[in-house]
Amino acid sequence: MMEENSRDNRRQGKRWQRKRTSSSSSSSSSSSSSSHINNLDDGCLMHIFSFLPPIPDRFNTALVCHRWNYLACHPRLWLRVDRSVKDLSQPGVFPNIETAVSASRPGDTILIAAGGSHHTSNIQIKKPLCLIGAGELPDDTTLICSRGSDSALELLSTCKLANLTVKAELGCCLLHRKGRLTVDGCILQCESNPLDFLSCPIVSTANSSEVLPSQTKSNGGGDGVFVSQTRIEGGAKAVVTSGDLALQRVRVIYARTSLLFWFDVEQM
């Protein structure tokens, strides 16, 4: 009799254990499926992607799947310059930098495709934009300014350039008029033996007295040029200023193949 009772108790214990295991597994599976990021709608997921830095996080996000590629490359998050795309009817895709800048809105990011050269001559940027090269290295995305042009890019607003190579055959790579210009992880190339007034990587004509207090807040601190981890080649001088901005906080790191510069150009 005692043996039968013990057997019944064992059977009940096994049944209770199976029931507990199945219920816990079902609850865990339901909780994991309900918390899965792919259950979010497109608008919410795109909003999350907007907080990621364009390179490399948002760019890598586009490689996960077709849906993430569509959302991460959506023109609401950035515009693309890609000459290899045949169907230019795609939203947010442009054949050259000039048309992308014209179509952009203040605060947009323009991703410039790697491979080949993009010709830029006296392109004026009058709104806050971010231009980023899509290659692994700045050498992969090259902007070339041909002879007869004053500059590759003329910047009249707060802008950022990253992961790009800018070459000026004659003239300057970047002509800074006003706003805060940030150059991060780029290569600026000019002629190696130029005349002083003809060739220079960066020329700034900004005058801090032109900046109003309201503009100072929106521009994040007034006019200036901020360069970091950037290789500067050629030119009589790395930077020339004709306004009232001055060079500050200069740091140079010498490597075997290049010189990397960190410096600020702002009001003393």
pLDDT tens, residue by residue, 131-186? 999 888 999 999 999 887 889 999 999 999 999 999 998 889 999 999 999 999 99
- Interval 34-43: pLDDT, tens: 458 888 888 8
The residue extents of the domains of the chain are 38-77, 79-208+221-267
Give the pair of three-digit tokens for residue 183.
């150059």
User: How far is 84 from 89, CA to CA, in rounded Å?
Assistant: 13
User: How far is 103 from 236, CA to CA, in rounded Å?
Assistant: 35
User: How far is 168 from 16, CA to CA, in rounded Å?
Assistant: 78
Q: CA torsion, points 108, 114, 120, 126, in degrees to nearest 10?
A: 10
User: How far is 82 from 116, CA to CA, in rounded Å?
Assistant: 10
User: How far is 132 from 113, CA to CA, in rounded Å?
Assistant: 9
Question: What value does the mean pLDDT take over residues 52-77?
Answer: 79
Nearest to 125 by CA among 145, 153, 103: 153
Residue 4, pLDDT above cutoff 60:
no
Higher pLDDT, 268 or 120: 120
Higher pLDDT, 92 or 89: 92
Question: What value does the mean pLDDT take over residues 223-238?
Answer: 90
Residue 49, pLDDT above cutoff 90:
no
Q: Which of 73-77, 113-117, 171-175, 237-241 has the lowest mean pLDDT?
A: 73-77
Question: What value does the mean pLDDT take over residues 92-96?
Answer: 88
- On the question of a cis peptide bond just before residue 95, with omega within 30 degrees of 0, the verdict is no
CB atoms within 10 A of CB 107: 10
The answer to whether the beta carbons of residues 261 and 237 sit under 8 Å apart is no
The answer to whether the beta carbons of residues 158 and 133 sit under 8 Å apart is no
Is the pTM above the cut of 0.85?
no
Q: Write down the pLDDT at residue 12.
A: 58
Q: Write down the pLDDT at residue 23.
A: 52
Judge if 38-77 and 79-208+221-267 fold alike in CATH terms. Answer: no
With bands split at pLDDT 50, 70 and 90, how would you rate the model's confidence at 216? very low
Which letter does DSSP use for residue 94 in this model? Answer: E
Considering just the CA atoms, what is the radius of gyration of the chain in Å?
27
With bands split at pLDDT 50, 70 and 90, how would you rate the model's confidence at 101? very high
Amino acid at 259: L
Domain 79-208+221-267 = CATH 2.160.20.10: yes
Q: Write down the pLDDT at residue 198.
A: 67
DSSP string, 31-67: HHHHT-GGGS-HHHHHHHHTTS-IIIIIHHHTTS-HH
Domain 38-77 = CATH 1.20.1280: yes
